Structure 1
Amino acid sequence: MTAALPDWLYPPRESGWEADDLDRVPELPRHTELIDGSLVLMMSPQRSWHDRVVRRLTAALEERVPAGWTVEAQMTVRLDDKNRPEPDVIVAAVEYDPDRTRFLPGEVVLAVEVVSEESRSRDRETKPFKYARAGIRHFWRVEDERGLPVVHSYELDDTTRAYVATGIHRSRMKTGVPFTLDVDLDHLAR
């Protein structure tokens, strides 16, 4: 016997879900993403490693972000009508707004994905492609390498609208883009 799905899980229209629907359906689980018009529900529990890296990276970025910019963990970006992914960390060149429910690509300076087992292909393939196409200038992918975070950094090539690798950072990350930053990466997971 198959249990019936709750009504809120069915798309509100024949053409499927749209980005703004995420703000209109209060029953949606926290951390629901929209990828190509399909809901991605974050139902599996995250590892402590993932949570710790996200929290500590968010704090490290908040300490160094330029005035007038904001850092948010696990907020969605409305890329277009059918895509509203949720990066693990966002740096946006806008003031903090306590009522914000999403960012627009032109506001996002950096999107960060901390790779987990259940999101590996989305974090490595789907989301970076979509972020680049939407014009988000910087992307970081954080991988777990024997318990320590390794940051793979990318910058948008305006001609190809694709990301170009700018580095693989272990132990310490020093960069001048998208702002001056020097982070002890090992501390993020310890």
Structure 2
Amino acid sequence: MTDLPDWMRPPRAEGWFAEDLDSLPEAPRHTELIDGALVFVMSPQRWWHGEIVTDLTLALRAQAPEGFKVGREMTIRLDARNRPEPDLVVTTAPYDPDCTWFAPEDVQLVVEVVSPESAHRDRTVKLCKYAEAGIRHYWCIEDEDSVPAVHVYELDQPTGSYAPAGIFRHTLRRSLPFEINLDLDKLAPGQSG
């Protein structure tokens, strides 16, 4: 058994904090902080996942009104011990080229594309954490025989938890966080050409 590299050892007895992620240049590219623990995405990314994220990013950017920005692979500092990295974020934060994370109040929509290794986190852990942080809209995209099914959630303010707002296949039309009209079949790799 080999020793852990020094950078993998928590800097304090309480573990990791959100600001620690910015001082870990040796960490794998997609490192998240969940409940004070580092989570590394070490499995190879599926082509389907990458294509859905790329195509959805481009489609939402084309429809986003002034003041909304669509980005990917940026963390959200939910609190001192949680800084997940969703697949896609829609934010109203002003552009800052040195930004490494978004505040929850600036995030209008979070999208997770479910992979086998992230399924539990995307469907349960992140669903609760994003709601607790007050993020109003959450989409969880599932692979149904290589066709995307988008599970849409809206924050219920009185309970502070997400309420299902529908499962969309083939077409997704939403008026929040802005007018969105998507042909989901065109997001599926091999479907658009």
Same fold (TM over 0.5): yes
Give the AA of the match of 1:172: T
Q: What residue is the counterpart of 1:55 in the other structure? A: 54
Cα distance in structure 2, aligned partners of 1:96 and 1:168: 32
After the TM superposition, which residues 8-23 of structure 1 pair with which residues of structure 2 at under 5 Å, given as runs? 8-23=7-22
In percent, how many aligned pairs have the same letter?
A: 55
Cα distance in structure 2, aligned partners of 1:52 and 1:16: 35
CA contact (8 A) 1:133 1:161 kept: yes
CA contact (8 A) 2:93 2:102 kept: no
Cα distance in structure 2, aligned partners of 1:8 and 1:14: 14
CA contact (8 A) 1:88 1:112 kept: yes
After the TM superposition, which residues 79-118 of structure 1 pair with which residues of structure 2 at under 5 Å, given as runs? 79-118=78-117
Q: Compute the displacement of 1:95 (Å).
A: 2.6
CA contact (8 A) 1:154 1:167 kept: yes
1:13-69 CA distances to partner (integer Å, 9 max, x unpaired)?
A: 111000010001211111100000000011111100000000111111111112122
Cα distance in structure 1, aligned partners of 2:94 and 2:49: 27
Are 2:167 and 1:164 equivalent residues in the alignment?
Answer: no
Q: Compute the displacement of 1:189 (Å).
A: 1.5
CA contact (8 A) 1:69 1:96 kept: no
Cα distance in structure 2, aligned partners of 1:16 and 1:175: 40
Give the AA of the match of 1:46: Q
Aligned residues: 189
In the superposition, the TM-score normalised over structure 2's length comes to 0.96
Give the AA of the match of 2:38: L
Q: What residue is the counterpart of 1:68 in the other structure? A: 67
After the TM superposition, which residues 6-45 of structure 1 pair with which residues of structure 2 at under 5 Å, given as runs? 6-45=5-44
Unaligned runs of 5+ in 2: none
Q: What residue is the counterpart of 1:3 in the other structure? A: 2
CA contact (8 A) 1:73 1:87 kept: yes
Cα distance in structure 1, aligned partners of 2:131 and 2:33: 17
Unaligned runs of 5+ in 1: none
Q: What residue is the counterpart of 1:154 in the other structure? A: 153
CA contact (8 A) 1:153 1:168 kept: yes
In the superposition, the TM-score normalised over structure 1's length comes to 0.98
Cα distance in structure 2, aligned partners of 1:105 and 1:152: 20
Cα distance in structure 1, aligned partners of 2:97 and 2:186: 29
SS at match of 2:117: helix
